[in-house]
Homo-oligomer: A and B are copies of this chain.
Amino acid sequence: MRNSATGKIMSSFTPNPDLDLVLVRESSVPPELVWKAYTTPELLEQWFCPRPYQAVEWEIELFPGGAFNSVIVSPNGQRFPGEGSILQAEPNRTLVFTNAVTRGFRPAPAPGEDGFAFTAIIRIEPNGTGSTYTATVIHPDAASKNKHESMGFYDGWNAAFDQLIELMTA
């Protein structure tokens, strides 16, 4: 048994290429501003989804078991509400959220045919005057990882992070 420090598990996490997707980006945005962009509803609205999609109506409770909810709106106005939960929040360094459980650690209903469960582990590390951003997105099985990848994970998360950079360096 190891000690009970919050965050212990993530410092030793090694991605599994069959199940996990990893995106690494270096930028001139300091850790504090990447964190702010990730945890402030008015900022998330402006970068979290690649345009012309937008994520709105954010509800964020920045503690383990707190909500991480938003509604994704398509260009033609279709709304896709998404509920999730924060699992870990270490300011300016680590944010872990998932759609496998919702507020209060309640398990989410099993995802439908087009959906998949995932947990996103966001690490932010100082790098000169900017930062290195690592998004590790982990899945229950290879089918879920493959679905996420073929839906455009890399293009989508890269485009979103470009929007974050644009927003936070404006």
A87 touches B107 (CB 8 A): no
Q: Quick one: which of B8, B65, B111, B138 contacts A105, CB cutoff 8 A?
A: B138
A2 touches B66 (CB 8 A): yes
Nearest Cβ distance between residue A57 and chain B, in whole angstroms?
15
Instruction: Give the interface size class of chain A.
Output: 35 or more
A10 CA / B163 CA spacing, docked (Å): 35
Q: Closest residue to A13 on the B side, CB-wise?
A: B104
Residue pair A139, B9 in contact (C-beta under 8 Å): no
Contact with B along A86-113 (1 / 0, CB 8 A): 0111010000101111011111111100
Docked-complex contact B117 and A105, CB < 8 angstroms: no
Q: A107-B140, A109-B140 are in contact. List 16 more A-B contacts (CB 8 A).
A: A1-B61, A6-B63, A8-B65, A9-B63, A9-B66, A9-B105, A13-B104, A64-B88, A88-B105, A96-B105, A98-B107, A104-B138, A105-B138, A106-B138, A107-B139, A108-B140
A residues touching B (Cβ–Cβ < 8 Å)? 1-10, 13, 19, 39, 60-66, 87-89, 91, 96, 98-101, 103-111, 117-119, 121, 138-141, 144
Q: Can you name 12 A-B pairs with beta carbons within 8 Å?
A: A3-B62, A8-B66, A9-B103, A9-B105, A64-B64, A106-B139, A107-B138, A107-B139, A107-B140, A108-B117, A109-B141, A110-B111
